[in-house]
Amino acid sequence: MHETAASAAGHVAELVRAQVRSKPGSVLGLATGATMESVYADLVSSVRSGALSLSQVTTFNLDEYAGLTASHPGSYRGTMNALLFDHTDIDKNRCFLPDGTASDLTAEADRYEALIAERGPVDLQLLGIGRNGHIGFNEPGSDLESRTRLVDLHPSTQEANKSFFSGEAVPSQALTMGIATILSARTIVVLATGEAKAEAVAKALSGCFDATCPASALMSHAHVHWVLDRAAAQLL
Ligand code: GLP
pLDDT digits (tens, 9 = 90+) for 62-111: 999 999 999 998 999 999 999 999 999 999 999 999 999 999 999 999 99
Q: Are 8 and 2 in contact (CB under 8 A)?
A: yes
As a whole number of angstroms, the distance between CA 154 and CA 232 comes to 22
The class of domain 5-125+135-209+217-228 in CATH terms is alpha beta
**pLDDT for 236:** 95
Residue 138 designated active-site: no
Buried b (16+ CB within 10 A) or exposed e, 131-151: ebbbbbbbbbebeeebbbbbb
Q: Which atom of ligand 1 is nearest to the CA of 129?
A: 10
Half-sphere exposure of 220 (CA within 13 A, CB side): 14
Under DSSP, the state recorded for 127 is E
Q: pTM for the full model?
A: 0.96
Burial of residue 67 (number of CB atoms within 10 Å: 0-12, 13-18, 19+): middle
Instruction: Return the number of other C-beta atoms located less than 10 Å from residue 21's C-beta.
Output: 12
Q: What is the mean pLDDT of residues 191-210?
A: 95
Q: What is the mean pLDDT of residues 212-229?
A: 97
Domain assignments of the chain as residue spans, ordered by start: 5-125+135-209+217-228
Mean pLDDT value across the chain: 96
Which protein residues touch ligand 1 with a CB less than 6 Å away? 31-35, 62-63, 128-130, 136-137, 157, 161
Q: Are 163 and 198 in contact (CB under 8 A)?
A: no
Residue 167 has pLDDT above 90, yes or no: no
Q: Which atom of ligand 1 is nearest to the CA of 153?
A: 7
The full length of the chain comes to 236
Q: What is the mean pLDDT of residues 194-199?
A: 97
ipTM of this complex: 0.95
Cα Rg, the chain, nearest whole Å:
16
